Amino acid sequence: MTASQRLAEANREIERCEREIERYQRARIMAADERARTIANLENEVRRWQKQRAEAEAELQPGFDL
């Protein structure tokens, strides 16, 4: 293989690898965004359940009237 052929091959492989790096970086960012949304949703759910728990506990207190 000539030097110019090796140079062309090296350039193609560098470009291929750089495209793969970009693809995986985008996937990592998207996955991080999805995890952040999931965490936020779970935190909201915890707050809703805490409110329901507090309401149920209040109803169980002596002297509670509906």
pLDDT digits (tens, 9 = 90+) for 19-45: 999 999 999 999 999 999 999 999 999
- Please give the pLDDT value at position 32: 97
pLDDT of residue 66: 60
Structural domain includes residue 66: no
| Residue tagged 């291929």 (tokens) | 16
Which structural domain range is residue 12 located in? 1-40
Q: Is residue 30 part of a domain?
A: yes
Give buried/exposed letters for 43-63 (b at 16+ CB in 10 A, else e). Answer: eeeeeeeeeeeeeeeeeeeee
Domain assignment present for residue 51? The answer is no
Asked if residue 64 has pLDDT above 90, the reply is: no
Overall pTM > 0.85: no
Residue 58 falls within a domain, yes or no? no
Residue 53 domain flag:
no
Give the model confidence (pLDDT) of 6-22 as tens digits.
999 999 999 999 999 99
Q: Is residue 34 part of a domain?
A: yes
Number of structural domains found in the chain: 1
Rounded to 5°, angle at Cα 28 from 23 and 29: 100
Residue 10 located in a structural domain? yes
